[in-house]
A and B are shown apart, each in its own frame.
Chain A
Amino acid sequence: MDMRNSQRLFVSRPSLFSGLPLLAFALFVLLGCESSKGRPSMETGSQPGTVSLNGAGATFPFPLYSKWMSEYNKINPDVRINYQSIGSGGGIRQVTAGTVDFGASDAPMDADSQAKASGTIDHIPTTLGAVAVSYNLAGIQGLKLDGDTLTQIFHGKILRWNDAKLAALNPDLKLPDQAITVIYRSDGSGTTAVFTDYLGTVSPAWKAEVGVGKSVRWPVGLGAKGNEGVTGQLKVSPGSIGYIELAYALQNKLAIAAIKNKAGQFVLPDVAAVTAAASEVSLSEALTASIVDAAGPGAYPISSFTYLLVHRDAKDRRKGEALARFLWWALHDGQKFSSALHYAPLPASVTAKVESRLRSLTAGGQVLLSGT
C-alpha cells in the first residue's frame, strides 16, 4: 500500500520542459553537422591551389624548420606545411608507415627501418648543428678538453676536476678539487647519438664498452629529460658537466668547453666552426655522413647533419612537387635563416649533391622538378 502511494507521487506530468533537453540535443547535433560541412576541408583538391603537407620528426632542427615553413608560406601562400617535433624515432616510424608526407631525423635511418618502408626513402641534409659541452664550475671560464679526457670523464675514469690530465690541458686555470658530476640525456635523442658517435670515434674503448646510439647505457652520471632538463640540472649542480644543443648553451649563458679537433686546435662551437666541419665531408650515396672529429682547420669536432626524410617516388604528384620545391627553396634561400638560430648553413659541396638528388625525385616515375 505504501509502495503504491509513493510511486504515485513520483509520476510526473508531461510538461513543457520535459522534451526540452531532447530538443536541445537534437539541435546541437544538427548544428554540428551543418558547421562541419561548411568548414573548408584541409585536403588538397577541395580548394583549388592549396597544398597541405605534414611532417614529423627530430626536435633538434625544429626552430629552423618552423622558421622555414612560415617564411615559405609567406612567399607561397598556397602551400601550408605542418611539422610536429615528436623525436627522430617518431619521425622515422611515421614516414615509414606513410602517415606523414616527410620525416626528419638527426641520425640516418638504419637498414631495418628502410626495409619496412614501401619504396625508398631519401635523406636530404638540411642543416648542420653542434653539440656543446657545458659545465658548471664557479669562476672557471675557457675550459679546454680533448677527445681522450672527454671520453674518460663520461666513462667515469676521471673523477675530479683537478685531475692531472685536465690540469695538463688547462695549465692557466685553477681547477678545484671537486667531484665531477656527469649529466646525460635520459631520453633517447639525436643529440646523444651525435655525442656518443664522437666518443666512439675517438675512443675504441668507449665504442666497445658503451656503444653509439640515441640511448646508451651510461657508465656514470645522472640523467635528465630533454635539452632543457640537462640545462636545468647543469645550472643547479656545481661541478657538473653535460652535453646540450648549442642554442641552449648560448641562450642560458652556460660555460662551453673548447674541444680539440683533429688538426690540434681547441675550437668552440659556433656557426663557422660547424660549417668548416662539413666542408671536407664526402657524403655517402645516400647523402648521409658522420662529421664528428672532422679533419680540416677550424672544424668543431662534435657536429652533425640533420636530414629530412622523403619518399623517392611520391604517391601524390601535387604534394610531391610542392615538397620538392620547398626543399629546393630551403637548400638555397632558406640557408640564410640558419645562422641567427645557431645552425650552420650547408657548404657548397653538399649543396651541389643535394640539388642533383632533388632533381631525381619522382612521382609515379615522372620527375618532379624540371627546369630548375
Chain B
Amino acid sequence: MTAVSTEFPPSQGQVSSRRPPSQVNWGDRAFKVTTAGFAILIIVTIAAMALEMLTASKLSLREFGWRFLTSTDWNPVVGTFGALPFIYGTVVSSLLALALAVPVSIAVAMFLSEMAPPQLRGPLAFAVELLAAVPSVVYGLWGIFALAPLMRDHVEPALRAIFGFLPFFQGPNQGFGLLTGSMVLAIMITPTITSVSREVFRAIPRTFREAALALGATRWESIRTGVLPVARPGLVGAAILGLGRALGETMAVTMLIGNRPEISASLFAPSYTMASVIANEFTEATEDLYLAALAEIGLLLFAVTILLNLVARLLVWRVAGTTSGGRA
C-alpha cells in the first residue's frame, strides 16, 4: 500500500517540482509553459503599447504638461494643442449614448431572458447580435444618408419645440452634431450591453423569482424585487463595458459628429472625439510636436478605456461572487 501511494502525486494531477525527472509528465509541462507564455504575451503587449505611447508623446507632455488637459485651443498651424474639447466630446457623446442605450438594452435582455417565448428567443437574440456585426463605416454611411437628414428635419426641430427652454436644445442644427453622433453610438453599443445583461440575468438562480412569485408578486414585481437588486452590479458592469466600446468608436462617430473642436452647451452643435481626431489628423501630421500631441491623446484614451474596463470587470465578478456563494 505504501509503495503504491508514492506512485501517485499528492495533489490533483499537478506536476510537483520535487518529483524526480523520470516521473515528470513532460507533455503536461510543455503545455503549461506554452499556454502561460501566450497569456504573458498579452500582458506584455498591453504594457508595450502603453510604453510606446508614453515615449511617442514625451515631447508634448514636456511642452504642455497639465495645460494639455485644460486648454481648448487646438491649432496645428501655430503649434498649440489642448485636448479639452476632445475629452468633452468623447465623454459627453459616450455618456449620452449610454443613457440612450442602457434602458433599451436592459429591457431587451429582460425580455429575452424572462419573458420571450422560446421560439422568439433565438431569432431575436440573433438579430441583436447582427447589430454588433455591422461594420462601423457602414453605420457612418447610413448615418450620413439616413440618420442625419432625419435628425435635422424631424427629430431636432421637435426637440427644440418641446425642450427649447433648456440650453441643450438651442442653437442651429445641421443634423451633424453631438446628438447624432451619440445616437449612432447608442445603436452600436446596444448589442454589447444586451448580451452581458442577458448573461447576468441567466446567472441569477430561479429561486429568487420563485420566492417573490410565491409571496404573491406579479411578473413585473417579481423581477423588480427578486432579480433586479441582485443583478444591479452586473448590469452596471454591462453598462460600463458598453461605455468602454463607445469611448473607442471612431469611424461612425467621425462621420456624424461634425468634427469641430469646440465646447458648446447645445447638443445640436458639432463636436469632436479623441478617437476621431487621431484618425483624422495622424496621417498628415509631419511636425514632431503635432505627432506627440496626437500620441498623447491616444495615451489619454488608452488610460480611460483601461480604467473603465477594470471597473466593469470588478463589478461583473461581484455578481458571480454573490450568486454562486452561500446566499440562502
Contact = CB atoms under 8 A, between A and B. Distances in A.
A27 to B, nearest CB: 20
A297 B279 CA distance: 41
Interface string A179-206: 1010000111100000000000000000
B257 to A, nearest CB: 9
Interface residues of B, number: 36
A215 B287 contact: no
Contact of B174 (A92, A189, A211, A222): A222
B8 A223 contact: no
A216 B260 contact: no
Contacts of B175: 236-237
A188 B284 CA distance: 5
**Which of B74, B75, B259, B285 has the largest count of A CB atoms less than 10 A from its CB?**
B259
Contacts of A3: 8, 12
B170 interface: no
B9 to A, nearest CB: 9
A181 B148 CA distance: 14
Nearest to A236: B149
A185 B199 CA distance: 43
**Which of A3, A4, A186, A211 has the largest count of B CB atoms less than 10 A from its CB?**
A186
B54 to A, nearest CB: 21
Contact of B77 (A189, A216, A229, A232): A216
Contact of B259 (A88, A181, A223): A223
B281 A215 contact: yes
A180 to B, nearest CB: 11
Interface string A25-67: 0000000000000000000000000000000000000000000
Contact of B8 (A4, A90, A224): A4
B78 A211 contact: yes
B77 A89 contact: no
Interface in A255-273: none
B122 interface: no
A211 B79 CA distance: 11
Nearest to B174: A181
A89 B284 contact: yes
A186 B280 contact: yes
Contact of B284 (A187, A210, A224): A187
Contact of A187 (B261, B270, B283): B283
Nearest to A229: B255
Q: Is the interface of B mostly helix, strand, loop or mixed?
A: loop
B176 interface: yes
A66 to B, nearest CB: 19
A236 B259 contact: no
Interface residues of A, number: 38
Contacts of B148: 236
A87 B8 contact: no
A214 interface: yes
A221 B276 CA distance: 17
A212 interface: yes
A188 B281 contact: yes
Nearest to B5: A4
A217 B74 contact: yes
Interface string B62-98: 0000000000011111100000000000000000000
Contacts of A93: 286
B205 interface: no
B222 interface: no
Contact of A214 (B174, B176, B284): B284
B145 interface: yes
Nearest to B76: A215
B172 interface: yes
Interface in B259-303: 259-261, 270, 272, 276, 279-281, 283-287
Contacts of B284: 87-90, 187-189, 214-215
A97 interface: no
B21 interface: no
Interface string B164-204: 00000000101110000000000000000000000000000
B254 A186 contact: yes
A224 B76 CA distance: 17
B236 interface: no
Contacts of A210: 77
Given A186-B259, A216-B77, A236 B144 contact: yes
B13 interface: yes
B76 A213 contact: yes
Given A179-B172, A186-B259, A222-B260, A86 B283 contact: yes
3 smallest beta-carbon distances between A and B, as pairs: A188-B284, A223-B259, A211-B77
